[in-house]
């Protein structure tokens, strides 16, 4: 647990130098990195989603690239392309932003379907295919994608197959009154943070993150909690208001996120409350409600809360 504690403590402390509040964003991003998964971050503009991810890359001392999605974005804009060298007649691969450790995909729902398919391969297999040739990506390759939940013009809904590749979906909201006052004070006069590169952020060595991931896999999970996780996933498949329930991959993600939440609480074992806290971020983007349920005002968070209430908690 030493590496996990060190990475989490370091990440929270360094991010707090720039990000005020937004504990869901900070802890969610750290969970994704500890589990070696990808995260979808949803929130209205101006809440610090992009700023938080850029700061995280600096404090983890990893290679970072950002993609600003538009409706005309092509797969080659992500992957790169083979460029002809006129002097010797050979092709040289010009690598795109996908070849990095931490990739920020801003407004992912503005990415057209063909380009989404190219991103899907990299998220699942950590490789890309360019002109029929496969290229391996970094073993630390992580996608943190953002989307705006209120603007739909010029957007493309993410397919279920791609949503299922995200380990968790983080929903962030407006800061509290006290946090917003702190933000305004930080940006008033001489203390205004115009350029985050001017703020000193201490990086941590990459081996610490890899060691933390190994420690996470060794966290204790009792068989009764494994059955509890399985029952939650299976119950979503038979729930009256759900047309598409959680897949086995979703159950695995729920288990990983529960382990990460236990680690963030400085425990080397998982308790039922960890599973409960992990259910919404791990499953909210993986189930599809029936149209009549949506018309009645249900959303996935409410349905999952009802599912949790119906599943017996292990003693």
Per-residue pLDDT of 40-76, as tens digits, reads: 998 888 787 888 888 888 888 888 889 998 888 888 8
CA-CA distances (angstroms) from residue 301 to 107, 171, 284?
A: 22, 11, 6
pTM equals: 0.85
Report pLDDT for 12: 84
Domain ranges of the chain: 2-74+100-208, 219-310
Answer yes or no: is pLDDT of 26 > 70: yes
Mean pLDDT, all residues of the chain: 84
**Of 89-93, 123-127, 185-189, 212-216, where does mean pLDDT reach its minimum?**
185-189
3-state SS assignment for residue 20: coil
Q: How far is CA 102 from the centre of its chain?
A: 11
Residue spans of alpha helices (H) in the chain: 2-15, 23-35, 49-60, 75-79, 113-125, 160-163, 177-186, 206-217, 223-237, 248-264, 272-283, 291-295, 300-310
- What are the pLDDT digits (tens) for 234-289? 999 999 988 888 989 999 999 999 999 999 988 888 999 999 999 999 999 998 88
pLDDT at residue 197 in the model: 58
CATH superfamily, region 219-310: Magnesium chelatase subunit I, C-Terminal domain (1.10.8.80)
Q: List pLDDT tens digits, range 283-312.
A: 999 988 888 887 887 888 999 999 999 999
Domain 2-74+100-208: CATH architecture, name and number where available: 3-Layer(aba) Sandwich (3.40)
Nearest to 27 by CA among 45, 43, 4, 11: 11
Tell me if domain 2-74+100-208 and domain 219-310 are identical in fold: no
């Amino acid at each position: 647990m030493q590496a996990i504690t060190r990475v989490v403590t370091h990440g929270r402390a360094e991010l707090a130098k720039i990000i005020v509040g937004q504990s869901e964003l900070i802890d969610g991003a750290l969970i994704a990195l500890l589990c070696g998964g990808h995260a979808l971050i949803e929130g209205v503009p101006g809440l610090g989603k992009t700023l938080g991810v850029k700061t995280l890359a600096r404090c983890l001392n990893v290679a970072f690239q950002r993609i600003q999605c538009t409706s005309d974005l092509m797969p080659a804009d992500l992957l790169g392309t083979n460029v002809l060298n006129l002097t010797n007649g050979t092709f040289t691969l010009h690598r795109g932003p996908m070849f990095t450790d931490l990739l920020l995909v801003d407004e992912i729902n503005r990415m057209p379907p063909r380009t989404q398919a190219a991103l899907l391969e990299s998220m699942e297999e950590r490789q890309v295919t360019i002109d029929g040739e496969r290229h391996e990506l970094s073993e630390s390759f992580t996608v943190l994608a953002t989307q705006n939940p209120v603007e739909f013009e010029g957007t493309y809904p993410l397919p279920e197959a791609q949503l299922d590749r995200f380990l968790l979906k983080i929903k962030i909201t407006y800061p509290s009154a006290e946090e917003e006052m702190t933000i305004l004070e930080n940006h008033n006069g001489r203390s205004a943070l115009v350029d985050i590169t001017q703020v000193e952020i201490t990086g941590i060595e990459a081996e610490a993150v890899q060691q933390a991931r190994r420690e996470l896999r060794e966290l204790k999970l009792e068989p009764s909690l494994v059955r509890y996780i399985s029952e939650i996933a299976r119950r979503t498949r038979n729930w009256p208001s759900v047309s598409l329930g959680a897949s086995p991959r979703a159950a695995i993600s729920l288990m990983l996120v529960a382990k990460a939440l236990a680690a963030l609480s400085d425990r080397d074992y998982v308790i039922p409350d960890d599973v409960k806290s992990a259910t919404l971020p791990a499953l909210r983007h993986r189930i599809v409600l029936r149209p009549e349920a949506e018309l009645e005002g249900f959303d996935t968070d409410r349905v999952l809360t009802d599912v949790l209430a119906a599943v017996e908690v292990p003693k």
